[in-house]
Structure 1
Amino acid sequence: MTEQPGSPDDTPENTKGRPSLAEAALFGCCPRCDARTLFDGPVKFAERCRACGLDFTRFNVGDGPAGFLTLIIGALITGLAIWLDLSVRPPFWVHIVIWVPVTVAAVLAGLRVSKALLLIAEYRNKAGEAGRDE
């Protein structure tokens, strides 16, 4: 089996200088070459890496991150909104001005990081669909 350039290996000399999984996801790094080319938009993956040519369309991240983020961020925002309302009693428009942008920003940031995290983990662990030979 031939190794792809920049493919992961558990030896320390091959992982030295590479970003951690969390760092790579946060900055949208290509899992093969570590260039910041994973995204083409706020949460849309690029077709392929502009630096090394890795095809990102072969990875299947799915909608898993969106479901978890909806539940987690929804619970956090609801808790914070209730706390603010019980402690300060602001008018309703203040809630809208605060929580709508905070929710949109949290969902976009969380979705970007979680999608990147799953794609990079899939590449590093050589995961794929069952019965698929690649």
Structure 2
Amino acid sequence: MSKGMEEQVIGGEHHSGRVARPLWTAIKRGMLGWCPHCGEGKVFGAFTKPVDKCGVCGEELHHHRADDLPAYLVIVIVGHIVVGAFMTVEAATTLSTWQHALIWVPLTIIVAIALLQPVKGAVIGLQWALYMHGFGGEKDEFEPHP
């Protein structure tokens, strides 16, 4: 019996006895701003400020460490979209430099802002699904470096 993408579970049963969480469902819920556990509560209390716990199921979400990864992913995504579109427009038209600036600078800012919250939610969903950074119930232990 094969599982669809929505039902994909990474790792199955772990040796620690933890039940595997559905990865793609958690990422999708996070992208939509919903709790990765129940899919009903909100992940964000403000634009990119996650809530400490879900208001519906009580799942603690303060463990996340979605620090810089969402911004880096947004830069990569927006860069590919804007550069591809710029090159297409540049090849098809004869716009001046200032006209390109008037088009691409605002577009880049708008697309980056529009993607930041969904990407951060997806990263929080990913961390929750993989029991990362305290989502598994234990504290993170940092290994000392020599």
The TM-score, its normalising length taken from structure 1, stands at 0.67
Give the aligned residue type for 2:44. Answer: F
Q: Which residue number in structure 2 is paired with residue 100 of structure 1?
A: 105
| Candidates 84, 88, 109, aligned match of 2:89 | 84
* Contact kept? 2:35, 2:41, Cα under 8 Å: yes
| Candidates 122, 126, 133, aligned match of 1:128 | 133
Label 1:36 to 1:102 Cα distance change in 2 as closer, same or farther (>3 A): farther
Higher relative helix content: 1
Q: Matched residue pairs, number?
A: 119
Identity of aligned pairs, percent?
21
* Contact kept? 2:25, 2:36, Cα under 8 Å: no
User: Displaced runs of 4+ in structure 1, greater than 4 A?
Assistant: 8-11
| Candidates 60, 70, 74, aligned match of 2:75 | 70
Cα distance in 2, alignment partners of residues 108 and 43 from structure 1: 10
How far off is 1:22 after superposition?
A: 4.5
How far off is 1:115 after superposition?
A: 1.4
Deviations 1:28-71 (A, max 9, x none): 11022211411123322223322233332211112112123213
Unaligned runs of 5+ in 1: 1-7
Cα distance in 2, alignment partners of residues 69 and 94 from structure 1: 24
Label 1:42 to 1:10 Cα distance change in 2 as closer, same or farther (>3 A): same
Unaligned runs of 5+ in 2: 1-17, 140-146
The TM-score, its normalising length taken from structure 2, stands at 0.63
Matched residue of 2:62: which SS?
Answer: helix
**Aligned-pair Cα RMSD in Å:** 2.9
Structure 1 segment 108-123 matched on structure 2, within 5 A: 108-123=113-128
Label 1:112 to 1:59 Cα distance change in 2 as closer, same or farther (>3 A): same
Q: Does 1:58 align with 2:66?
A: no
